[in-house]
Each structure stands twice: as structure tokens, then as C-alpha cells.
Amino acid sequence: MAGEVTRQEFLRAAGRAAAVVASSGALASLGTAAAAGAVDAHDDRPSALRPRPGARHVCADTPLSIAFREAPVLGTSGLIRIVRSDGTVADTIDLAAPTQTRIVGLRPTPLKYHPVIVDGTRASIYPHQQLAYGETYSVLIDAGVFNTADGRPLPGITDPRTWRFTTKRTAPTLAHGRLTVDAGGAGDFCTVQGAIDLVPAGNTSPVHVRVRRGTYTEIVYVGKAQPLVTVTGEDRHRTVVQYANNNALNGSSRAMFGVDAADFTISNITLVNTTPEGGTQAEAFHGSGQRILLDHVDLISRQDTLMLQGAAFVNHSFIEGDVDFMWGNGGVFFERCELRARARTITTAADYHTQIRNTQTTHGNVYHRCRLTPDPAGAAIPTYRAYLARIDPNVFPFSQVVYLDCAMGSHVLPAGWLLNNATAAPNVQFWEFGSTDLSGAALDVSQREPFSRQLTADEAAQWSDPQFVLGWTPQL
């Protein structure tokens, strides 16, 4: 009887009263949608399975998902297979495999990734590659791939008729230079990377990718050969791209959203690297191209949230992290941004807003009319504090960080700046002008480290010009 109870738990979790348990232990039917025939891929009626059984016009890049009544536990063995209509296997996810990899964009080497992610009561399945257009697929799942909280295996799906769907007949085109991403399946693509992958190597025309409200759990990469791309969210706070990519998982390819292309713009969106505190370096956004523009975006991570290696303009954005959460060697101008130092709980060390590694011939980071705000959680942590910047001048002797007319919370240490492994740095340019507290009152900077400098009004005016800092004029 224990096995029978498990089947019923699975079906109740799926929330489908019409589902029937086959004697083999597989799910034989998942309700009226499959029995009634084909349905639209973006049908928003409740369904345990996405894409819905019988769905047509499904994005070729669609993730798969199962909704459970109670949170499932992912097993450590068993197969998930995606099977073509002729019975051949298009993709296999083996839970016993020590690592899983997939090609992301134009990267020459595959990245490690998580093929199955359980978030609350929903399990999402991410194939190793995009599916083919104009093909019908079935999803088969071994028993024990998902388990109950007390360790009992949930039954699988062995009948190819149970979860079957058909992808769109043909791929979208770039004839008009515009693509739509919709997590619910009503756009050209279901993932941001799916849209980016349509941009050809050697692209010469502007491409505008509009991302509708939703949460997109994926690593995104725009290759060097894919310039002139703009990504715009429908709603800054309800359009979220997230992933737990980090140095432990993918080494130097650890950014959640990476851009090596020039003339890239991203706006009105939230990017989150969900790597937890202490989980190694984990950029939410990494850009190495020229003329990168981040406009009204939220960037959230812990260590190394934003890394810019080319030249970039960051406008009216929110950036949150704890260790060197803005860093790189590129010239970057920040206009009216909020910089939030996250409280750390597993160490008493201070936060560091920046670690900038520009050379003698390039500019560093300039912050103009920004607000450096404290983490509300820091009020309960006596050791919570933050530096404006740090650098080891023995390795990066020309680091430049400039704060102009910025408002700073009391969590910023009176000394302001930090040198690692040195007490003097004649070529470091840690500069400041017109700093205030968060209420707008002039800030006492008398305790700033002697290797830093307060600029004159004329100097501040020059460095307040984005064109002077970047060598180009940002177009919002």
C-alpha cells in the first residue's frame, strides 16, 4: 500500500483530479487537456506540467516544469529523457552524473549547470540544448527522480502519451530586428539566451530583445561577435533573470549574465546571482565590451556583483553586494545609482564597495550623485561597516575611484579607503568631492586616509562629464 499512497501523493501534488494511475506505476494521463487534444503553448489554465500535455507552438528553448502539492526532493539517480516522435532520444539527464554541462551562447566550451532545480513545490527541468523546431516530443521520468520529504520515491512517467508537446514549426526571424521573450510561452522565445542565440556572429544590425514579466532562471552570454544588442525588461522589478553561477561552478565563466560584445544595452530589469554568502565570486553582470550601457537595472549578488572590463555607463541603477561588489579594469561612469553594501553574517570583515584595476593609461570608476546606502539587516550586526574602495598598490598601482557629490550612510568607515599590503600609494587615485550624509548635510571627511584626496571644484567639474571619463557620450 505504501507504493499506492505515493502515486496518489504525486497526482494530488500535480493538482489534476482527472489523472489516472496506471498499474505500472506511471502517470497514464494528466487530465482533460491532453485528452481533449492540442492546446496553445501559452494556455494559462492551471496545469501540473509545463508545457501542457498536447501543447503546440511550444518554444524550442522551453524549460520543462512539474508543480507538486508539496515540495519534492530531487533524487540522486534515475533518468529524465526527452524523446522524439519516432522514439529516438533527443536528450537525457542522468541524475547520477557528477556534472552536467551545456553550451551557452557562443562560448567555445560548455558550462556546468543544474539540469533540475527544485524551487518550493515546482521542479524545473532544463535540457542540455535547445529542441528542434517542428518536432513532437515526449518527456519520460524514472521513478525516484523525485521523492517525498521522508524519502519515498515518487512514480515516474513511462507512457510517452502522458506528457507530449510539439514545438513551433519554424524559428523566429530577425527581419524586423525585434524579439520577444516570454516565460509563459507567448513570445518568440521562453528564455533570454534563446533570443540571444538567434543573433548571428558578425551581427551588423541593431537587435532589440524585449523580456516580459517573469523569472528566468538561466545563465546568459552575449558573445563578442554579437554587437548592437539591446535587452529591455517589461517591468524593472518583476522581470528577473537569475542563476547561481559562481567561481566554484564555472571558474572564470562565473557571471550570471556575461557580455563580451560592444554596443550592448540592458535596461529596466533585475539581474540576480543567487549564489549565497561565502559561495565564491559570483557576478550578476560581467561586461568586457566597449560602449556598454546599463540603465535602470537592479544588480544583486554577494561577491563581485558587477564586473566591467571595457567602457560602460551605468545610469539610475541599484547595485548590491558585499566584497568588491564593483570591480574590473574598465572605465565606468555611474550616474545617480544606489550602491547597497550587504551585511555579512559569516565573518566580521568589512564590506568593500570597489576594487578597480585600471592601468595608467585608462580611467577607473567615477560615481556621480550616487547614494551609498546601508543594509537594513546591518543594524543588528555590530561589526557591519564598509570601505569606499580597496586595492593592493603593489599589483595595481594606478587604481582610480572617484566619488563626486555622493551621499553616504554612516556604515561607511570614516577612513573611507583601504590599501592592502601597503601604507602608501603615490599613484593610486582615490578621490572625493562634495560628499554628504544621506540627509544631504556635508560629510566630515577629516579622517579620510592620507593617500586619498579631496578634489577642487574645477577638478570635480571635469570628472563629472561622462564623455571625458569614457571617451564617448552615452545615449539613453
| Residues 392, 179: Cα–Cα separation, whole Å | 44
H/E element, 284: none
Taking only the tens place, the pLDDT of each residue in 201-241 is 999 999 999 999 999 999 999 999 999 999 999 999 999 99
- Which amino acid is residue 195, in one-letter code? A
Domain shared by 336 and 462, yes or no: yes
Q: Is the pLDDT of residue 34 over 60?
A: no
Nearest CA to 163 among 218, 78, 92, 81?
81
Mean pLDDT value across the chain: 91
Looking at the structure, do residues 335 and 299 belong to the same domain, yes or no?
no
Residues 298 and 328 occupy one common structural domain: no
Query: Among 334, 321, 330, which Cα is nearest to 373's?
Result: 321
Q: Mean of the pLDDT values across residues 429-436?
A: 98
Please determine, for residue 23, whether its predicted confidence score (pLDDT) is greater than 70.
no
* The total number of structural domains that make up the chain: 3
Q: 340 and 454: one domain?
A: yes
SS (H, E, C) 197-229: HHCCCCCCCCEEEEECCEEEECCEEECCCCCCE
* pLDDT one-digit tens code per residue, 69-119: 999 999 999 999 999 999 999 999 999 999 999 999 999 999 999 999 999
Q: How confident is the model at residue 288 (pLDDT cuts 50, 70, 90)?
A: very high
320 and 206 in a common domain: no
Structural domain containing residue 17: 2-166
Over residues 305-325, mean pLDDT: 97
CATH of residue 387: 2.160.20.10
Shared-domain flag, residues 130 and 271: no
Regarding whether 33 and 143 lie in a shared domain, the answer is: yes
pLDDT at 13 over 50: no
Alpha helices in 230-352 (DSSP H): 247-250
Q: Which residues contact 433 (CB under 8 A, 6 or more apart)?
A: 402, 403, 404, 405, 454, 455, 456, 457, 459, 460
Condensed to tens digits (0 to 9), the pLDDT of residues 292-311 reads 999 999 999 999 999 999 99
Question: Which one of 135, 166, 197 terminates a domain?
Answer: 166
DSSP code of 393?
A: T
What are all long-range contacts of 31-36, with beta carbons under 8 Å and residues at least 24 apart?
Answer: 34/161, 34/162, 34/164
Residues 228, 328, single domain; the answer is no
- Tell me the per-residue pLDDT of 365-424, one tens digit each, with 9 for 90 and over: 999 999 999 999 999 999 999 999 999 999 999 999 999 999 999 999 999 999 999 999
Check whether residue 442 and residue 413 sit in a common domain: yes
Q: Are strands 64-67 and 122-125 parallel, antiparallel or unpaired?
A: antiparallel
Same domain, 220 and 152: no
d(CA 154, CA 148): 7
Q: Judge contact between 123 and 50, C-beta under 8 A.
A: no
* Same domain assignment for residues 327 and 419: yes
Tell me, yes or no, whether 132 and 155 share the same domain: yes
Note the pLDDT tens digit of each residue in 246-287. Answer: 999 999 999 999 999 999 999 999 999 999 999 999 999 999
Residue at which a domain ends, from 166, 184, 205: 166
The pTM of the full predicted model, rounded to 2 decimals, is 0.91
pLDDT number for residue 476: 82
Q: Which helix (H) or strand (E) holds 320?
A: strand 318-321
CB count in 10 Å sphere of residue 444: 10
Q: Which of 262, 279, 309 is the last residue of a domain?
A: 309
